[in-house]
A and B are shown apart, each in its own frame.
Chain A
């Protein structure tokens, strides 16, 4: 059964710092991996989707990497801003479950201090 773990659970950094969020998964046979952002009381915003054949994806100040063999992905945020404060979730498709639903980690709650 696929399990997704995110470390750390919470992270507080001063504005301007570069930071890395970690995601690990137990079954390396994934089709893709997706990073989401969730603001308090809100739904999910998709940030980056990395296909299994890719090593990384970039969008603005965000860079996500994927190492399938080791079951790991990282989300790198450059020059963090207070507006980046949110919970970041990673997710992979579940092939053992219902038609490809996503399995989520518990998230990393990021706080960027001005």
Chain B
């Protein structure tokens, strides 16, 4: 089975801190995604990557950056955490363009 693992289930960080969310997949997928999920807004795409060292902005990239140095790992970075970044963050991976995505269990981040 495909496994997508996010490094933390719950995180509490202070305003202004630099925050790293890590995601690792074990199925050699080319494509990886970071979303945030908020009630009433569904999932919104922050960044995605279709290859190592490649990244593309999604709908809401402001305040975030990403890193993909290895194929299996896709990191989301909050440069300076703010309270409006309190959310559930979901990582996903997939192979080709019309295939289903496999999701991690999510990281619930609270910024205080």
Our verdict on whether A and B bind, yes or no, reads: no
